[in-house]
Amino acid sequence: MEIAEIEDSGDIYFSTSATSPKIDEISAEPNSLIVLQSENRFAAIKGTATVTRDTATIARLWSEDWRVWFPKGKDDPSLRLIHFRAQAAEFWDRGGIKALAFAFKAAISVAGGTTPEVSDDMNAKIKL
């Protein structure tokens, strides 16, 4: 699977093959969780997924990079899209100065026997 598009609403499209095990998994259980991460940032997105072969959407999202997996291009009969409809998300940001600030708070908390507070810019739940 490859991310084809992330919409402002939080919905995500993935390209995949009709033979991918994900197709059967989504058919059996459309409730899904997507986790995205970089070195210091993480996001978990809860939602539902459906599989589509909508040719207009495939044409709009088509990338020549996909030709490796779909040699017949956007008309390849095995090309499918997974449309993930986001419902809620949570993110963590432990990068740069935020990581240092959290480490400082954590050290103070450990010394004082308390739990550090985490600011909204480091961790937040987002209703979509």
End-to-end CA distance of the chain: 23
* Cα 90 to Cα 10: distance, rounded to the nearest angstrom: 12
Write out the chain's pLDDT in tens, 128 residues.
789 998 888 889 999 999 999 999 999 999 999 988 887 788 888 999 999 999 999 999 999 999 999 999 999 999 999 999 999 888 877 665 555 555 555 666 666 666 656 565 555 566 56
Structure tokens at 13: 């499209």
Report all structural domains of the chain as residue ranges with CATH numbers, in order of start: 2-93 (2.30.110.10)
* Cα 121 to Cα 97: distance, rounded to the nearest angstrom: 12
